[in-house]
Structure 1
Amino acid sequence: MIFFHYQLCKNSQEAREIKKHPSYLEINKEFAIPEGNVAIEIAGYGRRILKELINKIGKGDTLVLTDLNSLGDTIDDVLGTLFSCFKKDINVYCYHPYSRIEPSAESCMSFLISVQTGIDIQNLKSSRSKHRRIKKPLGRKEGSQHKLSIYTLKLKGYKQSEVARELGVSLSTVKRNWRNGIIG
């Protein structure tokens, strides 16, 4: 696993001084991030460097940030960037000094639920999903055309093999419907 550090700065002055900032130094020291894996970008340029960095990062690698706001200007931008990271199997850590490094399970779950809700809404809106069922029911379809006949022959005292022979159906069909009656 390789670590990458992305830092978003407000202006060029902050970008020049960021390498002296304690949190920047602490992140690079804590995760042993080499200079080649650090990306510094000035806000207002469409986060082009972030997109290039995400394309450069491989599966299973980790992107370390100081703030989730650095992933986008709006909530949709942040969710879109996080979702693209998850699709590429990139770990994202939002590092805060004086706190745990990894995010809590609750925050991850709430993010995943919100992303899944967004996906479900998009699926409902798509024209393809209007013509197909979203979820197929589980299990075998209920009922058999021989169910009533099997049940009546069972009540008359026939054995399973005799019922199968009498109705001309397979033994598995008889066994499948044998216990579905009231008697059991």
Structure 2
Amino acid sequence: MQKPFRTFFLLLAAALLGHGQAGVGADYYPHAPYKYWLYSSGEMVVVGQPVQYKGISVVPTNHQFGKALVRQDLLEYRADGSVWLRGVNAGGKLTWYAQPLNVYPAGPLRVGQSWAMGSGQSRVIGTGAVKNTSGTFNALIISTETAGSRPQWAYFVPSVGVVRYQTADGAITDLVKVR
């Protein structure tokens, strides 16, 4: 998977796994410390305990392969239900964003809804059936384009999270297990 596409999906998956939001049930964006999602690529996304950094409550979300930590996103969940990427730990270096990235709008999502994420634009383009080893789902399909790239898709199910993502070149990664 090309790096820009992988970065987008890591951010989106992390954001979709966040706290319950204003106006939706607490499990719309499932979140509990130590909850994890295992994908067919071997990637595991693990949610940590909220921590304070620079006076802001953030939720560290680890992206790992086996026990090897690849990246940790520091996500802020605001009272309006939006999710913001405040910083990233990668390669032993913390990058804190003076201008955080709005990676996810307040839920619930609806077909036709769109939002900007840095240089990218995401839009809920419809719904579709997804069948994989973790189950059969009716998912919201989120298309995202970054500057100069073809779209890629995330298949999101409220109270479950991202059950599939597909890069612009057609590579598919499925949810294998959630706990």
Q: TM-score, normalised by structure 2?
A: 0.29
Q: Looking at both structures, which has the greater relative contact order when contacts are Cα pairs under 8 Å and sequence separation is at least 6? A: 2
Query: If each structure's strand is expressed as a fraction of its own residues, which one has the higher value?
Result: 2
Query: If each structure's helix is expressed as a fraction of its own residues, which one has the higher value?
Result: 1
Q: Which has the larger radius of gyration?
A: 1
